[in-house]
Structure 1
Amino acid sequence: MPKNQKNRQTDLLNFQTAYNPERFKQALIGTIHTLSGYTATNINFCSSTVNNRQYQSKNNKENVHLPQPPEIQDAKTLQFIRGQADALALYLKYHDNDLPSPPDLTSEDAQNSFNALEQVRVEALGSKKMAGVAANLQAVMEHNSHIEGHARMDKAEQLSPAKALSLLVYETLTGKTVPKASRKILQLWRNQLTPQGEKALKAMKEALTDQDHYAQATKQLLQAYRLLEGEEEKSDNGKEESSQDTADQNKDSNPDYPEEKQEQQESELKQQFSQIPLNMEDQEKPDSAMGSDKSEKAGGPSQQPPDTLADVEDASYHIYTKLFDEVVTAEQICDVNELDFLRNQLDQQLQEIQNIISKLANRLQRKLMSQQIRSWNFDQEEGLLDASKLTRIITNPTNSLSFKQEKSTGFKDTIVTLLIDNSGSMRGRPISIAAMCGDILARTLERCSVKVEILGFTTQTWKGGRSREKWLADKRPQNPGRLNDLRHIIYKAADQPWRRAKRNLGLMLKDGLLKENIDGEALFWAWQRLKTRVEKRKILMVISDGAPVDDSTLSTNGSEYLENHLKRMIRKIENRAEIELVAIGIGHDVTRYYKHAVTITKAEELGGTMIHELTKLFDEKDKIQSK
């Protein structure tokens, strides 16, 4: 190994003992030069988001870009940057710019997927030869899977084709499994793999060292997933256009062309073309999902109103960067032993109040169970045999009124989401009681077949974190928008049994967890998770003890920036009416934000208030009035 390369690797391995951003940069530069063989390449460190799956800048081997290393040591971030540096170096080393991309990559998905799969090829080549590089690239993949929320995806279309095919080809070329968070969504894409696609994957593996042949195999894979038209499809499209042109010419050239014949020919053409699948989604949709005849006749743009809650950003609120945001589970923050310790602390603190809340919860349970009690219509001519009428059957077998039928209870399948403020002002008694109330409520509602999800929201650091560092490095542009690193926590998923999530709620007692609160984005996140659920009735309960506060954001955008955004998010959710929204404020008047809200003065009142508000929502009279 060259002496210079050995020194650079030593720098990277030993930076933890005396971390210095400038020294880390120099080590990265040396590694890229040595690994790629291009010593004249300029490595630029910028604060804008740089992802090793963005390829436009890599066609220029004279200048490449990497993210700015953080000022404060962060092992995960530094390994992520090292992985991006390795990906760049491998692209410089193994990709031949002189070989042009295929000219028929007309769609954006096809172009992005083709570039992504070429990146997978060069990374696979490097991973097979260098174990350290493979570990860094794996860290990047883990990071991206986590940031992009692969674990929460349950539909194939939620993952972009470029990302899905990258993961699929990565497994084929390297023989390694993708991150755990990505396995479920990748399986949905693997289920759509055709024999043509399997053949293309095999060809890509065999052509790993031949960029030209690999590109041809990549095109076959894109055709298999309908991202690129094959020759047969192009030919068929030509025939369709020719047929349509012939019909138009006949109509235009002959004024006496009978209208009935025109309509008959148009009808036949439409029927013929409707049988040709346009894409995989159309092929899989049932007839009922393709729309009625009325919707097909309406021309022009869709008459449906636009989704006014399509994005958390709007004209008055934007996000400076999402690069450092995270959605995590309790296990990703603490190990199992620490979670058990924190849970024991929670149980010890709240033994007395637990008994009080349990009594109230039992009342709620009795109400819910009474609404779900099965009832029967007797003396029916068909149905289940009524055992109490057996004597009637024996004495008079011709009597037909000996059956019973079960009545429908009218109780909708329901899900309740608890969104708990994890800000620093909740520290101590409020957060402990919120955790225990959520725990008891989840246990109670689970017995009544009501799904419960418990979520928390805070920030990763005080006063901006890495988002603010990025803004400072960008020379402080005006009105940057939200300027902190979000941390959204899933304490209990809706489909997770209470017994498996019990220990997670102890995480709320962890020192240093509770920081600042950006309520508007947290509310949107909880709403997004809830709206995709299949339950007919959806309830979102927010527990907070104050207005949104983030010093970094408010100091650069104005004192009411976060509060105004929260009000807009609440108004949009309440106007849609598909989710019932209720809020409980602890020592903070939330009635000025929410239509359905209550304010309590002491944390000890939280349990009773939660049960009372849910009881009102589940009350049959209230439900009838709301209808």
Structure 2
Amino acid sequence: MSNKDDLKTQFLEALTHTTRALSGDENLRVTFQHEEGSRDPNEGVKTLTLPALPAHLTPRDMALLTGIADQKAFMFRYGWPDKLQMSLSLDAGTYHDVIEPLEKARVQHRGISDYAGTKAHLDLINTFEAQRNANKGSDVPMGYVLSLKLAEQQGRRLTSVEERILKVNKHRLTPEVKDCLKHAPNHLGNEKEQVRAYSELLSILGLSEQENQQPPSQAGDSKQEEQEQEQEQQSADGASDSQQEDRESTAQQGETGDAEEDANEQNETQADQSDQGEGDQKTHPGYGDEDATGSEPYTRKFDATTKAEKLVTHSELMRLKERFKNVTSGNRGLVAQLAVKLQRFLLAQARMGWRFDQEEGLLDPKKITQIVTSSEPRPYRVPKPQQERDTVVTLLVDNSGSMRGRPIEMAATSADVLARTLERCGVKVEVLGFTTQTWKGGQSRLDWISAGSPDNPGRLNDLLHVIYKEADASYRSAKPAFSVMLADDLLKENIDGEGLVWAYNRLLKRSEKRKILLVISDGAPVDYATDKHNESNYLDTHLRDVIHNIEKKKQVELLAIGIGHDVRRYYRHAVTIEDPSQLGQALIERMVYLFSPHDRTPKDIEKDIRKKLKK
């Protein structure tokens, strides 16, 4: 056997073992096509078939083959093609042309997140695929165009060739398709949500088999649901800005195409109502005057407050820590530089005092004459120990689905660096997050249905409040928790008002004299189940009332940073940034503002912020 043959054999053995490991199936059979057009064998054993090897294997061939193997392995690990095709009632051709490219983009994103070492080979596959379609103009397969758009929404930076393909085919991406793909990453975390998201996309494209074979009763239910959604959207259009519409669209996708299921679910629960009684009665907020807004949840018994580490397994936490390290490596330098400037600013603001009339130390210029005139001169002074800042800062992060990608990455990075910096300066820091446990309302909504669906039920979703770092916890012990913000299935809907009350009440229990609450959000409060079954702008009104009460009491200094969303219409002290990459600088500037002397006007202080950060 020649050296080349020996090298080829070693490569194939290594590729087989690696592919099997990435697939998550140690019994997976890895084979190679030896004849063009041959099909993957299917004899009851899971088999992954790779392209036939060229006679002369070059380094580029090996890299391409590795990329193909990685992609197929991730399809085995994260995909369910047979069940998905059956659930969508699609013929093989439609699945192959439309859904399969989207699935490749989905599993590739997740695979790179979990196994960063596969990125280089998968990037090569993406480049090869783009070059293959570069000169097809508008004849590029629709599935490939959709997969590029989905990859872009998931945060992958497209190559110039891929961007050009999207630009040439932008007329094929209707507003409905764009909107569907924009929020698709929020619904691809489990099989049920995935089927709904793809079903909606297929319906928009006119490719849904079920759409053409819909029973009359289901068609009637769907039409009624469509009319309800249209009325709700018109109401929302008159009461909120475009950002809120985007957030509502995110939540609505969990409901799309589910009218018949909801109707059946309601009939079943109402049939059992006689055995269950009247259901859970509304509970009072219990927050005191700061939440005396007339807003009540239907029930609180399913709400949860937990430490971030308890939301993931140990192995998941290890993967998230590695991912956090990778995705924030490019951001950490910028934010860390800003943090150094903040630290210098804070230390410079801390005036050092002196103890006078000491027998030793530094000579006090004012006491020089005592050396001659006094029989017991004490002309020295020594520095007083620096007083610790009697301050606590809470960073409250919106953990909604629309924060997925770049916004939540920057929020996690900024929280990490800010907590470390303020701890060095003697300032206590707490980092919290707010979201919901499910889409569509969860157990709270089911309880409401069981009770006969009374009018104006209040909040209908199960809250999830997350503690990333407690104020008394050290930065070192809390650091791993910041990576949990990147968990794929954490980010869902956002009920800002109750999240704000929760963080506020935690601050009130602190003994520090000065209390600061800083909110990071990218949109208005949205929970589809709650918005659908209550009066218009229910959550929006509640948030405004909570903010008003907190600002009126003046026990806590309340500030906000909006990402692509003008939060100044809610908060008196707020700033809006358009690019998530600006979050680090915005946070530092807010801190500089907060710890500046307040004997000047806010306008003067704002003017000085930029000057200090440039030095």
- TM-score, structure 2 length as denominator? 0.49
Work out which structure has the larger RCO, using CA pairs closer than 8 Å and 6 or more positions apart in sequence: 2
